[in-house]
Amino acid sequence: MLKIYHNPRCSKSRETLQIIQDSNTDVEIVEYLNDIPTAKELKSILNKLGLQASQIIRKGEPVFKEQFKGKTLSNDQWIDAMIQYPKLMERPIVIKGDQAVLGRPPQNVIDLI
């Protein structure tokens, strides 16, 4: 089973979810703007992605530009920022077991199916 951290208003997230559904793969959908991941969950996601928190920050978001642009934060501080402002988290993220991919481009999810 796959798990997708999904924003239904995001075209890339919708495209990624459609690829998963078209493959008839079971998927758990987490709308992370409503069901915000905990710090522990975010650390697990980052570990599976093999990335630092700063690498999944959406730098085009207004909240980034207003609150964080030009600042150097630790990994834990970025995680706290994503919990406080979940829109900062890059989307979608798809997880299967101990592997994860960013759905940018959406075709990245094929590696997990």
The yes-or-no answer on residue 10 being catalytic is: yes
CATH code at 9?
Answer: 3.40.30.10
Among residues 3, 5, 9, 10, the one annotated as catalytic is 10
pLDDT of residue 16: 98
Record the pTM.
0.94
Q: What are the beta bridge partners of residue 100?
A: 95
What integer is the mean pLDDT of 25-37?
A: 97
Q: Which domain holds residue 10?
A: 2-112
pLDDT of residue 77: 98
Q: How far apart are CA 34 and CA 14, in angstroms?
A: 16
Instruction: Tell me the chain's radius of gyration from C-alpha atoms.
Output: 14
**Count of the separate structural domains present in the chain:** 1
Q: 3-state DSSP call for residue 112?
A: helix
Instruction: Evaluate whether 27 touches 105 at the Cβ level (below 8 Å).
Output: no
Question: What are the pLDDT digits (tens) for 48-105?
Answer: 999 999 999 999 999 999 999 999 999 999 999 999 999 999 999 999 999 999 999 9
